[in-house]
Structure 1
Amino acid sequence: MPMAELDRRVAGCRACPRLVEWREEVARVKRAAFRDETYWGRPVPGFGPADAGLAVVGLAPAAHGANRTGRMFTGDRSGDVLYAALHAVGLASQPTSTRIDDGLELYGTRITAPVKCAPPANKPTPAERDRCRPWLEAELALLRPTLRAVVVLGAFGWQALLPVLAAFWRVPVPRPAFGHGVRHTLAAHDGGDPLHVFGCYHVSQQNTFTGKLTPAMVEEVLATAADAAEIRHK
């Protein structure tokens, strides 16, 4: 199916009762600062071109970020850091991402997550991760002809993504450990191009407010990954 059709189907998923209940409760109760807004309150599909050479994989939508706006990493402080870094290295048309109709474009890059619904306390269960896995598998299958590099934000995304990558690339056993700045090149077993996989600490406030992750660190990983994917920076 085309990527647009996949995105439409993702947005209609109701497979995980706990996540459905939580995302809809958040959309109904709202945060005071957004009380006059209509929340998205549904699963959040990936964002970016269907022929991206680089994928950025996070964890799950934020309750008052993507669950409110309907676009990954849009409308929260984690997104402020990520999109500023993407813009700084030439992968985004602007440094901010505030709402779904703000005109932001990504260049050669698609942002997605292994869990499509906002989870309570930002902690999906292993069962919810596994139930959501077919959506990520389908998305990566559509990206396969052009995908050359992946930046994984955090250990949860790393653990969720590697088994999915095994459909097209040879993932070592035991699987490589997550770490900021790590890089692994996976040979293809389907006759296609290899994949360069990069680890980056998640752009969460817990990491950025404490200085564990700085804007320069994010930019360095993204720029290196863009070069590996042979994306021409804007």
Structure 2
Amino acid sequence: MGSAARVRAAARDVPDRDGLAVLDGRITGCTACPRLVAWRREAGRVKRAAYRDWTYWARPVPGFGPPDAALLIVGLAPAAHGANRTGRMFTGDRSGKVLYAALHALGLASAPRTESADDGLALRGVRITSPVHCAPPANRPTPGERDTCRPWLVRELELLRPTLKSVVVLGAFGWQALFPALAAAGYRVPRPRPAFGHGARYVLEAAPPRAGGAAASDLTVFGCFHVSQRNTFTGRLTPAMLGEVLREASAVAGTGPDGLSPGGPRPSP
């Protein structure tokens, strides 16, 4: 069985009960993409001078947030010296500082910034994930790596279906990766697929559940420029622009002030 087939089998076999916890654990042990495995480990060995005292996570980074999230944020992939170092999505880099500050301003995160996976930060009604779970060289996964990683995202979407109402996609790569996963997870994706753009908004109808499966709400998908340094430093994406998209998505999701989900250290593979 090839590496891509092994990922499909491992993701498909994740049970519905406590599914996201099981899925997260399996993701952290994935070694399906040799180039990404080598790169994430090399980044953890060489390190940045500012982080020379850190023990890097240097493994695939699973999603972060409660299992009954109504809002999902989809990025690109972990940063080599950010989430690849800390083990938690968008934690420990400048992109994360922008994102968590915006989430905190809307009451969706318990703190405006985060530096490590055990700092106590919690999310409220929102989960963060990415279509590629390993840090790629130059922040650019290949199409093959994206496709190999897709079954993890499909199963995550399936497990979130009972509560999920909106998705914010950060950047064109995540947008392109998301729609095939949504189709596989039981949402009706139009053809041609919706085009990416900042502020784009599309409603997808949920297909009837499979036998024994949970019913789902229709899903509103929002496009947003990625919170990369290139975008935030140049003003292509401002805090106000990000906040507006998150505010609209949160309103659709109906996320409220209760149900904080702490983000502690990730499970070992």
With structure 2 as the length reference, what TM-score do the two structures score? 0.86
In structure 1, which of residues 20, 31, 50 is the aligned counterpart of residue 67 of structure 2? Answer: 50
Question: Are residues 1:177 and 2:195 paired?
Answer: yes
Question: Are residues 1:152 and 2:176 paired?
Answer: no
Q: What is the CA deviation profile of residues 4-31 of structure 1, one whole-angstrom value per residue up to 9, with x for unaligned ones?
A: 1110100000000000000000000000
- Matched residue, 1:230: 254
- Matched residue, 1:195: 219
CA positional deviation for 1:233: 4.5
Give 5+ residue unaligned stretches, structure 1.
Answer: none
- Matched residue, 1:220: 244
- Matched residue, 1:118: 135
CA positional deviation for 1:196: 0.4
Bigger Cα displacement from structure 2, 189-198 vs 17-26: 189-198
Q: Match for 1:216: what amino acid?
A: A
Question: Are residues 1:104 and 2:121 paired?
Answer: yes
2:28–2:59 contact (8 Å) kept in structure 1? yes
Bigger Cα displacement from structure 2, 115-124 vs 185-194: 185-194
- Matched residue, 1:59: 76
Partner of 1:6, secondary structure, is helix
- Matched residue, 1:87: 104
Partner of 1:166, secondary structure, is helix
Partner of 2:123, secondary structure, is coil
Bigger Cα displacement from structure 2, 33-42 vs 167-176: 167-176
Partner of 2:72, secondary structure, is strand
Q: Match for 1:179: what amino acid?
A: G
Partner of 2:206, secondary structure, is coil
CA positional deviation for 1:138: 0.9
CA positional deviation for 1:50: 0.6
Q: Matches of 2:45 and 2:178 in 1, distance apart? A: 31
In structure 2, which of residues 171, 175, 180 is the aligned counterpart of residue 163 of structure 1? Answer: 180
- Matched residue, 1:211: 235
1:89–1:233 contact (8 Å) kept in structure 2? no
- Matched residue, 2:51: 34
- Matched residue, 1:23: 40
What's the C-alpha RMSD, in Å, of the aligned pairs?
Answer: 0.9
1:165–1:171 contact (8 Å) kept in structure 2? yes
Q: Match for 1:174: what amino acid?
A: P
2:68–2:160 contact (8 Å) kept in structure 1? yes
- Say how many residue pairs are matched: 234
Q: What is the CA deviation profile of residues 187-229 of structure 1, one whole-angstrom value per residue up to 9, with x for unaligned ones?
A: 1112531000000000000000000000111111011101101
Q: Matches of 2:55 and 2:89 in 1, distance apart? A: 17
With structure 1 as the length reference, what TM-score do the two structures score? 0.98
2:166–2:221 contact (8 Å) kept in structure 1? yes
Q: Match for 1:171: what amino acid?
A: V
